[in-house]
Amino acid sequence: MATLSLSDETLRNLVQGPGDVEWRYEMRRECQEILPGLLLGPFQASKSLETLKSLGVTHIVCIRDQKEAFSVRPRFPDHFQYLVLDVEDNEEQNVIRLFPEADQFIQQALNQGGKVLVHCNGGISLSPAFVVMFVMRHCQLSWEDALHLVQNRRYCISPNGGFLTQIKEYESIYKAKAAVANFPVAPMQRVVSRRKRDDEEDDSRSVFRFSRVQ
């Protein structure tokens, strides 16, 4: 599992958040940098080509409810790489199932030295849920720390109750995958498994020969 190369001290500072930011209401219409190269905001932040270029954005994840598709859509496909996800903003929507596609897109963009804006319509519930899971997985944080890290930069986020439950569930999912990745099958176990397969194949061939003789 790929993780971001951040020191423990850097992570602590990120979770605590900047102490000198005075949040203003109009800032909810802007995007904020959550991690180096990862921005979170509303659809409003994706509508100005000049602003996006000034921020160095190269990739955009557009998360929207299907009924918003006529307005919340890629505006500058000739200038940025887009990933569009149709997600219902309700408590029954399974965001864990949809997260891997966004995760891969964001990670590849960052690996290429790009800068990613993740947005939904308001930047309050949908897109923050995906960003919190990304932060949790790649910084290897608890769901509480990941949520605080994101909220300390974009104060207005408020994932709905269903999303918040899934964010909590995702912690055990990503930790289980990390544990499997960190403890691959030992060479001896592979040998035993191979021998077992060979024995099973020999047995099946014997049964086949016996059937032929009958």
106-118: pLDDT as tens digits? 999 999 999 999 9
Model pLDDT, residue 190: 55
CATH of the domain at 94: 3.90.190.10
Examine the residue annotation and report whether 120 is marked as an active-site residue of this protein: yes
Q: How many domains does the chain have?
A: 1
The answer to whether 131 and 162 are in contact (CB under 8 A) is no
Model pLDDT, residue 32: 96
Reference 126, options 200, 199, 178, 72; nearest CA is 72
CA distance 86 to 63: 6
In a domain, 173, yes or no: yes
Low-confidence ranges of the chain (pLDDT < 70): 1-7, 19-20, 184-214
Choose, from 31, 62, 120, 139, the residue flagged as catalytic.
120
Model pLDDT, residue 182: 80
In a domain, 200, yes or no: no
In a domain, 214, yes or no: no
Burial readout 35-53 (b: 16 or more C-beta within 10 A, e: otherwise): bebbbbbbbbbbeeeeebe
The answer to whether 30 and 41 are in contact (CB under 8 A) is yes
In a domain, 187, yes or no: no
In a domain, 16, yes or no: no
Look up the domain containing 96 and give its range.
29-182
- For the whole model, what pTM was predicted? 0.81
In a domain, 148, yes or no: yes
Model pLDDT, residue 19: 64
CA distance 195 to 201: 10
In a domain, 38, yes or no: yes
In a domain, 2, yes or no: no
Compute how many other C-beta atoms are within 10 angstroms of the C-beta atom of residue 85: 19
The answer to whether 39 and 130 are in contact (CB under 8 A) is no
